[in-house]
Every structure is written in structure tokens, then in C-alpha cells.
Amino acid sequence: MRTRLTQMLGIEHPVMLAGMGGVSYQRVVAAVSDAGGFGTLGAATMSSEQLDAEMRGVRELTDKPFGVDLLAALPERMVGDAHKVVEGGASLFVAGLGVPRDVIKVLHDGNVLVASMCGKVRHALAAVEAGCDFVIAQGTEAGGHTGTVATMPLVPQIVDAVGERVPVVAAGGIFDGRGLAAAIALGADGVWLGTRFIATPEARAVTGYKDALLRAHEDDTVISRGFTGKTLRAIRNQWTRYIEEHPEELSKFPEQMGKAVAANALHLGGDENTPVDPDKECYPSGQGVGAIDELIPAGEIVRRIVDEAEHALARAASTVVR
């Protein structure tokens, strides 16, 4: 399935692994890239040294292209890390929060493409004006930090605003090939999936996270400021309920992260050996979670999504009575 996105990234399938902090480490990134999709390291929870090691790890596991996602909200780290991304052999840099104005030139000079996460049309316009190569339109259904506009209305409006100039990738609540087919019908050039790829053997996750995803229904997530101070969609639990009842205890980003850590509700960069309280822990999740009931190898997910999308597009064409 070729699109402008696959041509730009030099990949086979328009299926991208979201650069999820705490989850998208070398194993799952390499598995997605190796299957013909595009894996993105989630570097927000990594030290600069870890980022180096993870990029090296991906290159040892696959010779396919991969990317790195960082939160542009931490500008003091951006410039140094942009140089590392170039040296580390990544071919894409994704800015998770905000337009990465300070580093676009460094990245382009190093032959690294730049993309920006967008929750509103004006974010996409600003990203393209600043020189980003494509945008990821992320609807409120998404797991992790998220905005207020849903994927269905957001994607076509961003396509109308910038789609003639750059590819648009759809994100938020997409978990199978029907989502890819729908994204293409809305004018997007590919999809960026988070939650579905957490429920894989290769993804890194703190204790209880994958089990919580397998159990959760579509209405078990909530948008809370309780974990980071910014609006973040996660599985509803004791901590999100406590914060709903005590909004006066909230601090801004990033101070609230310290409070969540102190409350034993956030273990950034932890893994399955990290002791956590599953009734309080931050388990970011999108609304597609109700459809996830088994762990599936990440490469298999990529292959299934492409097959299902082809069927869904053919079925859609034959559903319309002429």
C-alpha cells in the first residue's frame, strides 16, 4: 500500500508506531520497521545516553528506517538531542509537543525529516510554515497527551489546511485496518498507532500495564491532568478519581509529574520489574482499547492492518449501490 508517506519515508506500508515515552524502545521499534512499517523511539523518558544506546540497538536489530520522538516542550534538551538523532542514524524526528523551530535546520542539514504532532488546524499550519515535512493529526481519542478535537473531524480539516503541501498522518483511536482505510478515505496518507502496539510482546511497559489494556473497555479511559499537569488520556483509576475530587491540588506541567511520582502513581521509564500500584499507576491508553484482547507481535499487527485495510477499502467500494 503506497502513499506519499511511504515514498517520503522509504517504507512499504503507511503504518507508523507512535514514539511513546516509556513504551517505544528498540525491540518494538525494530519489529515495526522490519515488517515494512515505521518504528519511532519514544525518547521523552530517556536520558541522552539512553537515547544513544536505543538508536544503536535499533540499528543492530534492523537496517530499515526508524525515527525518534521527543517533547519539544523541553527546549533545553532539544538542540543537543537533535545532533544525536542525526548521528544516531534516525531518518525522522517527531516533536511531541509544539513546533520544533530551533532544530529543524540542524535536522534537515543531517538528512533527517521532521514531523509535528497536531491537535488543531492552527498547529498544523504553524508546523508547515516552520518547515516540517509532514504532520500527525492526533484526535482526542488518543492515549497519552491529547487535545479536545476528535480524529474524525480533525483529520479532514487538517488535510484541507495543509494536505496539498505535506502528507497528513492520522492518529487517535486507530487500532486496525478499518482505521487505516477510514484515514485514507479522510484524505490522510497513513496512520500513527500507539495503544495497539503497547499490547505486543516487544513493547516495554510497567507492571500490570498490558494486562490493564487487555481488560479495559472503550469507556474505561479518562483525560486527566493528574499525571503530568497536561491533559493525558489514561485508564481511569484511584488517582484520576482523587484528582477529579481535589482539583485544587493540581500543579502545572511539569511540576505535577513530581506530585504524581510522590503519590506512587507515575514510574516514568520503568519496566515489568518496577513495583507499581496498578490501582493508581499511569497507564496511558486510547479509546480503541476495548478492541484489544490479546498480545500480538508488532510485525504481525502491521501485516494485519494492511490486509484488513485493503479488504475494508474493497468492501466500502462494493457497499455503495450505484
Ligand X SMILES: Cc1cc2nc3c(=O)[nH]c(=O)nc-3n(C[C@H](O)[C@H](O)[C@H](O)COP(=O)(O)O)c2cc1C
For the CB of residue 69, give the shortest distance to ligand X in the complex, in Å.
5
For the CB of residue 96, give the shortest distance to ligand X in the complex, in Å.
3
For the CB of residue 169, give the shortest distance to ligand X in the complex, in Å.
10
For the CB of residue 259, give the shortest distance to ligand X in the complex, in Å.
19
C-alpha cell at 180: 487505516
C-alpha cell at 293: 484482547
Q: What is the SS3 assignment for 38?
A: strand
Stretch of residues binding ligand X (CB under 6 A), selected from 212-220, 223-231, 261-269, 284-292: 284-292
For the CB of residue 305, give the shortest distance to ligand X in the complex, in Å.
12
Tell which one of 39, 144, 147, 229 touches ligand X (CB under 6 A): 144
Please name the residue that has the C-alpha cell 485514507.
184
Tell which one of 28, 142, 203, 212 touches ligand X (CB under 6 A): 142
Return the closest-CA partner of residue 242 out of 273, 272, 209, 264: 264
Return the closest-CA partner of residue 99 out of 67, 126, 138, 68: 126
CA distances from 137 to 68, 93, 128 (A): 17, 16, 13
Question: Taking CB positions, which residue lies at the least distance from ligand X?
Answer: 194
100 near ligand X (CB under 6 A):
no
202 near ligand X (CB under 6 A):
no
Report the side by side order of strands in the sheet with 113-118: 15-17, 190-193, 168-171, 134-138, 113-118, 92-95, 66-70, 39-42
Angle in degrees, 0-180, between the axes of helices 151-162 and 121-130, rounded to the nearest 10? 40
Stretch of residues binding ligand X (CB under 6 A), selected from 57-65, 99-107, 119-127, 140-148: 140-148
Question: Rounded to an integer, what distance in angstroms lies between the CA atom of residue 17 and that of residue 288?
Answer: 15
Tell which one of 36, 167, 194, 299 touches ligand X (CB under 6 A): 194
Nearer to ligand X, 154 or 161 (CB): 154
Tell which one of 100, 173, 208, 270 touches ligand X (CB under 6 A): 173
For the CB of residue 321, give the shortest distance to ligand X in the complex, in Å.
33
Under a CB-based contact definition with an 8 Å cutoff, are residues 228 and 254 in contact?
Answer: yes
Binding site for ligand X (CB under 6 A): 18-23, 42, 44, 69, 71, 94, 96, 117, 138, 141-144, 171-174, 192-195, 284, 286, 288
